[in-house]
A and B are shown apart, each in its own frame.
Chain A
Amino acid sequence: MDYATLLQLLDTTLRLATPLLLACLAGLYSERAGIFDIGLEGKMLAAAMAAGAVAALTGSAWAGLLAGIGASLIFAAIHGLASITFRGNQLISGVALNFLASGITVLIAQALFRQGGRTPPLAGDARFNPVVLPGAEALREVPVIGPLYYEVISGHSVLVYAAFLIVPLTWWVLFHTRFGLRLRAVGENPAAVDTAGVSVVGLRFAAVGITGILCGVAGAYMATALQAGFGREMTAGRGYIALAALIFAKWRPVAAMWACLLFGFFQALALRPDVVQAVVQVKVPVPFLDALPYILTVLVLAGFVGKAIPPRAGGEPYVKER
């Protein structure tokens, strides 16, 4: 494999890792607060449809982004209502919302545009277009580092850079702010948080809200940056890969970034089976590359690659003692 092919692979990796990373960080907030969320997939899908539809109608990618966040927040609110207010089963709620999103996105897109459940193709300002970072053109001729900067680092949409900036931000919020401390506490021992006079319900709703916003950005990125418009089931299990990455990263933000980059790299490899064959000298079936993130996550869960310990109060509704 030559240097140019490697750069191409890394460039694709960054683009494919971005929705995973956004969804993974979204899940991180929710699960750290003790609310399991297997509905990341559904929220992303709803956001992708809303973003694709609104961007097509208004011609503005930013309006699409807002609509995506809004749609994702509605789903997050239902999840919060079911799992926090009515103390329902968080896993079942997530499953239900995934189905709801899978069906309703097609229904709405079909009712709006009559194009078989797709939204019209986007172009120009209706998409988040690549941004050329300062100095990329000038440094392009510098050996080794120049092409790396020009091909891989520069030339992505603004949402990609935002996603990677949210990683240190999340780290700082979780471990260096009062809100973050309380958020982690409510996922480990909500009774203690309640005793300290802080609202468990309020904190959990805040966490679920942040999850909604980030899933919204992830979905909008899918429809208005990675691709040009919404198509049915376009998230294709990315919400579950993000969930896998979250476990792989043991619920830590920086590790989550590396996990998403790794899984994004697998996705990039699955697009280039010829490169894989040239490197390992054996024909590797593409389905095997597709399944690698899931297989790795099972190995992590099995405890063969370190032990993944979820937040202690995860999945349990909090009942105040009377």
Chain B
Amino acid sequence: MDRLPKWADVALVPLISLVMAAIISALVLLAIGQSPTEAFKVMVDGALGSAYGWGYTLYYATSFIFTGLAVTMAFHAGLFNIGGEGQAQLGGLGVALVCLSLPWPHWTVALIAATAGAALFGAAWAAIPAYLQAKRGSHIVITTIMFNYIAAALLVYLLVDVLRPAGQMDPASARFPEGAKLPALNDIPGFNLIFQKAVPANVTLFIALGMAVVVWAILWRTRLGYQIRAFGKSEPAAKYAGINPVRITVIAMLLSGGLAGMMSINNVMGEAERLLQNSSEGAGFIGIAVALMGRNHPLGVVLAAVLFGFLYQGGAELGLWTSIPIEMRIVVQGLVILFTGALDMMVRMMLTRAFGMFRSVQATQPDKGAA
């Protein structure tokens, strides 16, 4: 089979997958008797049409950058970490324990401690599946799915029976102290000129962008990153080169779990300011779509995260202003994963054929180009 040019592989394949997902989504909307153009307009207006809309889009994007990077990190080691959801919820537990433990004097101190707590708890939740994969050969996909459910059950128990303050009805932790309150974009000098209304997007956005650079540097600029990528490409070759498979599997999963856990500083500390049930709201799973769409590169992940931020905020607007259920965004999410992940080969085959036809046309008419 002919190979695709690099630019087509990097940009055209995900773009075409996205267009196909969009076409099917439009057909779904038509089938339930709604207008796709009208829906798209509502989504763009609500998510990108105002600074307020951008405040939400960027808030969702922040969470998705973390979970997308988490999936990316594991993917490069040849591991499919589907447990981002559970790791993010445990990260939320870490954030809550840190924030509630001390009367924090200033948000910067609290942020550093909470970030460490989130990463530590997320990594710890990924550690057991990682160990089982590395030492016992249990499939990481199955164990991380199981750990998602165990995490959900654990958090229900903790929120109902342990962390819930006496006299409070709903299963949630106590409110975090004032000192642990993160500045939102509308509180930051300079940004408050753009964001005049209160928005949920907060300083965590910059940490997310920073982590994208860190992940890029780890993967492509360190010995560890080289070992991770080599291990992911070919386990036997990596072993032959003296790379320890147990070490790499565990380290890659710890980094992945830590990144997934860190998303909780955005939603738990930055927005809810207390730990709620199901705090991650599916962001762990969206990381899969973001990583696939972003071609497992940090820059791609950031772009895809903003795209999904738009989809999430736009989808919420659909639920608010039209009779299209909010679940439409889950349909689009599923379609994006299907086309960019599972039907990748189909898109590639189509493109290769198209390029092949283009080349053969050029080959049979050599004069045309010269004239």
Contact = CB atoms under 8 A, between A and B. Distances in A.
A244 interface: yes
Contacts of B334: 96-104
A108 B327 contact: no
Contact of A99 (B33, B149, B333): B333
Contacts of A100: 330-331, 334-335, 338
B153 A288 contact: yes
Contacts of B169: none
A96 B341 contact: yes
Interface string B194-222: 00000000000000000000000000000
B337 A99 contact: yes
B325 A106 contact: yes
Contacts, number: 153
Interface stretch (B51-59, B137-145, B230-238, B298-306): B137-145
Contacts of B324: 107
Interface string A231-255: 0100001001001100100000000
Interface in B119-168: 128, 132, 136, 138-139, 141-143, 145-147, 149-150, 153-154, 156-157, 160-161
Contact of A298 (B132, B160, B292, B327): B132
B66 interface: no
A237 B149 contact: yes
A240 B149 contact: yes
A268 to B, nearest CB: 17
A301 B133 CA distance: 9
Contact of B341 (A88, A111, A237, A295): A88
Interface in B318-335: 324-325, 327-335
Contacts of A295: 146, 150
A302 B132 contact: yes
A303 interface: yes
Interface stretch (B4-12, B181-189, B243-251, B343-351): B343-351
Nearest to A241: B149
Contacts of A86: 342-343, 345-346, 349
B73 interface: no
Interface residues of A, number: 49
B338 A243 contact: no
A110 B136 CA distance: 46
A166 interface: no
A13 interface: no
Please report whether the interface of chain B is mostly helix, strand, loop or mixed according to DSSP. helix
Interface in A77-127: 78, 81-83, 86-93, 95-104, 106-108, 110-111, 117
A93 B285 contact: no
A310 interface: yes
A7 B136 CA distance: 40
B80 interface: yes
28 contacts: A78-B338, A82-B338, A87-B345, A88-B345, A91-B141, A93-B338, A93-B343, A95-B288, A96-B335, A99-B285, A99-B331, A100-B330, A100-B331, A103-B327, A103-B328, A107-B325, A110-B325, A111-B31, A117-B327, A237-B149, A244-B146, A285-B161, A287-B160, A291-B154, A297-B142, A298-B132, A298-B143, A308-B138
Interface of A: 38, 78, 81-83, 86-93, 95-104, 106-108, 110-111, 117, 232, 237, 240, 243-244, 247, 285, 287-288, 290-291, 294-295, 297-298, 301-303, 308, 310
Given A92-B342, A106-B325, 4 more contacts: A86-B342, A100-B334, A101-B334, A291-B153
